[in-house]
Amino acid sequence: MKVSWRTLSTVLLEDELLDKAFSRAKKAADRVDDPVRVFRVRKQMTRMVQTAADVISNQFIELVAAWPSLDQSPLFDIAMIDACVGSDDYRKNLAALQWAGKQVLRIASQNTKKIIRTGRTELMHDARREAYGRISSIMRQVSSSLLWLSEARETLKRLPKIDPILPCVVVCGAPNVGKSAFISALSSGNMEVNHYPFTTKQIHVGHFVHRRLQYQLVDTPGLLDRPMNERNYIEMQAIAALEHVGSLVLFLVDESESCGTSYEEQMSLLKEVETLLPETELLVVTSKADLLKPLPEMWDEVQAAEEEWNANGGQGEPELPFLLDPKGRITMSATEFVGMDSMRLEIVRKVKAARPNDPMALPEGWHRNDQ
């Protein structure tokens, strides 16, 4: 079940929902036309009670149905819900509305019977007022749940849109090592920029398409770019959530140290990332190859190979040569776009190897015609 928090409708609070219910109830009563006063009042009072109850009950039913069930949600979304608003509170407050909806209908049934059974109009009015009072009491009991859901909606709709079905590459590293530049250079469109609901940090999600499959690139500022002792519990929960969607972790290293973080500190952070995401394959890449002195030996060869591949349509998955830094680590330059195509193809290969085989997948080369 894919979660789309942005499509959830506004949660009406206690007074707003009561005003809506009682207003519709009055309009329903105004439409009654019967020349016999007793019959007219009886119809008006029953319609008012039943309409008010139906409006509130239907509102609760629709609200609970619209909010994703945690039992059917992807692990990433469950972990993010738990990190942002708490999964126990999430379940408790939705359950409170389910209970309230049933109680309101029960009250309407009981008081409608009182109205029908009496022939005195003043008792009919009393039964309607009693129903309104009992319904209002139920609403007061769940007012805190409505307020919680309203605030939770505002929080959750700022969550990043990450599809758990599609490959996801988590890009991390120290601040200013070139993560955003890397994602922007690889992305086929504009990056999406969202905020973590629990911080002022932004999360960047980029995409590129290879052989009609979309790959997601996620930048995680504020989470995977600083020591563990500087993170709070909620941030640790968010990191755990990334483990459920990451097909590959890409750790960028700035050997030039122009990022402001020493190489030793970057290696220390790398060890922490390995500890935090132990089940996800990790690829370490040197960024800012254009700042290395001297430039990597294969600079011209890699640039020419990538240009030739793109000129021929950029099809297939050829073994393009890699740029290598003095330590023998893969490197690239996002600003000069050298080594980026070979890096993209390596990401595709790594993700393919990490993802389970799909029995429904078509065989390699099925679309080709070699005749």
- Which one-letter amino acid corresponds to residue 80? M
Residue 53 has pLDDT above 50, yes or no: yes
Question: CA-CA distances (angstroms) from residue 183 to 90, 193, 209, 217?
Answer: 34, 12, 13, 6
Q: How far apart are CA 319 and CA 316, in angstroms?
A: 10
Residue 189 has pLDDT above 90, yes or no: no
Lowest mean pLDDT among 27-41, 52-66, 206-220, 293-307: 206-220
Q: Tell me, what's the pLDDT at 200? A: 39
CB 155 within 8 A of CB 196: no
Q: Report residue 191's pLDDT band, with 50, 70 and 90 as the boundaries.
A: low
Q: How far apart are CA 170 and CA 243, in angstroms?
A: 9
Q: How far apart are CA 132 and CA 311, in angstroms?
A: 74
CA 212 to chain centre: 23
Q: Tell me, what's the pLDDT at 279? A: 80
Q: Which CATH class is domain 168-354?
A: alpha beta
Looking at residues 96-114, what average pLDDT do you find? Answer: 97
Instruction: Give the tens place of pLDDT for each residue, 195-252.
Output: 555 443 556 788 998 888 899 998 776 556 666 677 766 566 566 656 777 789 899 9
Q: E strands, the chain, where?
A: 168-173, 192-195, 202-210, 213-219, 248-253, 282-286, 323-324, 330-331
Mean of all residue pLDDT scores within the chain: 85
Dihedral in degrees, nearest 10, Cα atoms 353, 356, 362, 364: 10
Residue 163 has pLDDT above 90, yes or no: no
Domain ranges in the chain? Answer: 5-156, 168-354
Contacts with 230 (C-beta within 8 Å, 6 or more apart), sequence order: none
Contacts with 84 (C-beta within 8 Å, 6 or more apart), sequence order: 152, 155, 156, 159, 197, 198, 234
Q: How far apart are CA 116 and CA 111, in angstroms?
A: 9
What's the N-to-C CA distance of the chain in angstroms? 42
CA 126 to chain centre: 49
Task: Give me the CATH code for the 5-156 domain, please.
Answer: 1.20.120.1190
Question: CA-CA distances (angstroms) from residue 125 to 38, 52, 114, 130?
Answer: 11, 15, 10, 9
Q: Report residue 339's pLDDT band, with 50, 70 and 90 as the boundaries.
A: very high
Task: Report residue 96: phi and psi, to 5°.
Answer: -65, -40
CB 322 within 8 A of CB 298: yes
Helix (DSSP H) and strand (DSSP E) numbers for the chain: 10, 8
Q: Tell me, what's the pLDDT at 365? A: 46
Q: What is the 8-class DSSP label of residue 6?
A: G
